[in-house]
Amino acid sequence: MFRFVLGKLAYLVPTFIGITIVAFGFVRVLPGDPVLLMAGERGLTAERHAELSAQLGFDRPIWQQYLDFLGRLFQGDFGTSLVTKKPVLTEFFTLFPATLELSLCAILVATLVGLPLGIFAAIRRGSWFDQISMSSALVGYSMPIFWWGLLLIIFFSGVLGWTPVSGRISLMFYFPTVTGFMTIDSLLSGQDGAFTSALSHLILPTIVLATIPMAVIARQARSAMLEVLGEDYVRTARAKGLSAWRVVGLHALRNALIPVITTIGLQVGTLMGGAILTETIFSWPGIGKAMVDSISRRDYPSVQGGLLIIAALVMTVNLLVDLLYGLINPRIRHR
């Protein structure tokens, strides 16, 4: 196991360096001058522009800028925002609880709905339930997030008036944040109606963000379960007279969970990508919305730092998923 972890970590180093190249180059291929956007085009002389470029290091060769960026990065310095003048790391973890709360709720809903859906579809293969559930999963996977989000807002917020349009909680509530999770902080505040307001603001963004992962998990669970149900040990368990639920729950499900767990781990990246659109649609004050704002303002350090931190989180989750394999299936051990 120890050698396995070291081997995985060794692979992560060149991967992370490659991501730094992509993150560094991504913002620089976008049109727009960050100096002009930061200082304003009016009254900005050529001399002042050159002075600001020199202060920010934009006057140096691109390769030298990258090496300076990489050197600061390995010292734990993700840079300082050109707009807010605050450290990127501080800003990220100030906004990250909002994104984490939304992502955790989304992956929880996606797993609790998608996993049983796929399992029952496999058990009832070819039935009307199988056809309807898998067709719905295909529709959910193909649904554009921005269109789906706007559709839900129009129907549930505009027509029915059941849910709020945007934000994390009603403006009538104010209390100090303890955990950064609005649902938990609203409970700790003790204010009447605060938790209900926070929960109602969370419903639509969670549904929108969970739709694609839910469809992927359902289809993967069905495929994995169908493969396992055809194995010899499952047929042997049935021949011994074990009940159908015992065969599925004890023998088949444990082995079918391995690819499903992999799929759930890979959905972390999908959630982070989907959070950008979801948070923008619902004005959710998290990392996704902040990244969109930083890109529009050409805030190089914020975009670079945000991409790298998100990439590091995704790689960490994927490593943890690999380690879980041996716990789920005793036949798989990493030496």
pTM for the predicted model, two decimal places: 0.78
47 and 125 co-located in one domain: no
Amino acid 206: pLDDT: 92
**pLDDT of 334 higher than 60:** no
Q: What percent of the chain has pLDDT over 70?
A: 79
Considering only residues 89 and 275, tell me which one the structure prediction assigns the higher pLDDT. 89
What is the model's pLDDT at position 96?
Answer: 85
Average pLDDT over residues 39-67: 71
Pull the structure tokens for residue 160.
């029915």
Total domains, the chain: 2
More confident residue, 41 or 257: 257
Co-location of 69 and 101 in the same domain: no
Q: How many C-beta atoms lie closer than 10 Å to residue 212's C-beta?
A: 24
Residue 38 has pLDDT above 70, yes or no: no
Give the sign of the dihedral formed by CA 50, CA 55, CA 56, CA 58: positive
User: Does any domain span residue 118?
Assistant: yes
Q: Average pLDDT for residues 202-215, to the nearest whole number?
A: 90
Q: What are phi and psi of 87, to 5 degrees?
A: -55, 135
**Tell me: the pLDDT tens digits for 228-274?**
776 666 667 667 666 666 666 666 777 777 778 777 777 776 777 66
pLDDT band per the 50, 70, 90 thresholds, residue 205: very high
More confident call, 334 vs 266: 266
Q: State whether 211 and 234 are in the same domain.
A: yes
Structure tokens at 133: 């559930």
CA-nearest of 291, 321, 269 to 107 is: 269
Q: Which amino acid would we find at residue 161? A: G
Nearest by Cα to 157 from 107, 207, 97: 207
- 243 plus 279 within the same structural domain: yes
Burial of 170 by CB count in 10 Å (0-12 exposed, 13-18 middle, 19+ buried)?
middle
Residue-averaged pLDDT of the chain: 79
Phi, psi at 80, each rounded to 5°: -125, 135
State whether 240 and 316 are in the same domain.
yes
Q: Give the C-alpha separation, 34 to 26, whole Å.
A: 14
Per-residue pLDDT, 273: 67
CA gap 164, 213 in Å, rounded: 24
> Given pLDDT bands bounded at 50, 70 and 90, which one contains residue 170?
confident
Where does residue 142 rank: exposed (0-12), middle (13-18), buried (19+ CB within 10 A)?
A: exposed
Whether residue 59 has pLDDT greater than 80: no
Higher pLDDT, 116 or 126: 116
> How many angstroms separate the CA atoms of 41 and 148, rounded?
38
Does 335 reside within a domain? Answer: no
Residue 288 lies in a domain: yes
Using pLDDT thresholds of 50, 70 and 90, give the confidence band for residue 227.
Answer: confident
DSSP-H helix ranges across 29-75? 34-39, 46-56, 62-74
Which token pair is 259? 């690819």
Query: With 60 as the cut, is the pLDDT of residue 30 above it?
Result: yes
CB atoms under 10 Å from CB of 270, counted, come to 19
In this predicted structure, what is the pLDDT of residue 232? 67
Among 74, 101, 116, the domain-final residue is 74
Do 195 and 124 share a structural domain?
yes
User: Alpha-carbon distance 279 to 290, whole Å?
Assistant: 9
333: in domain: no
3-state class percentages of the chain: helix first, strand second, coil last, to nearest 5: 75, 0, 25
Taking the C-alpha atoms of residue 232 and residue 289, their distance in angstroms, rounded to an integer, is: 50
Residues 6+ apart with CB under 8 A from 269: 314
pLDDT at 39: 61
Residues 139 and 182 in one domain: yes
Q: What is the pLDDT of residue 327?
A: 61
In a domain, 180, yes or no: yes
Amino acid letter, 23? A
- Same domain? For 65 and 93 the reply is no
The last residue of a domain, from among 22, 47, 74: 74
- The more confident residue out of 269 and 314 is 314
In a domain, 122, yes or no: yes
Rounded Cα distance, 305 and 20, in Å: 9
Only one residue has tokens 């300082």, namely 80
**pLDDT at residue 332 is higher than 80:** no
Residue 7 belongs to what domain range? 2-74
CATH of the domain at 132: 1.10.3720.10
Same domain, 37 and 115: no
- Checking if the pLDDT of 281 tops 80, the result is yes
Residue 175 covered by a domain: yes
Residues 168 and 283 in one domain: yes
Q: In this structure, what token pair is assigned to residue 308?
A: 């790298």
Residue 180 and residue 35 share a domain? no
Within a domain: residue 81?
A: no
Looking at residue 325, what is its pLDDT?
64
Q: Check residue 37 and give its pLDDT.
A: 65
42, 74, 106 - which closes a domain: 74
CA dist., res. 291 & res. 273, Å (int): 11
Residues 18 and 155 grouped into a single domain = no
Taking residues 54-74, report their average pLDDT: 78
User: pLDDT at residue 83 above 70?
Assistant: yes
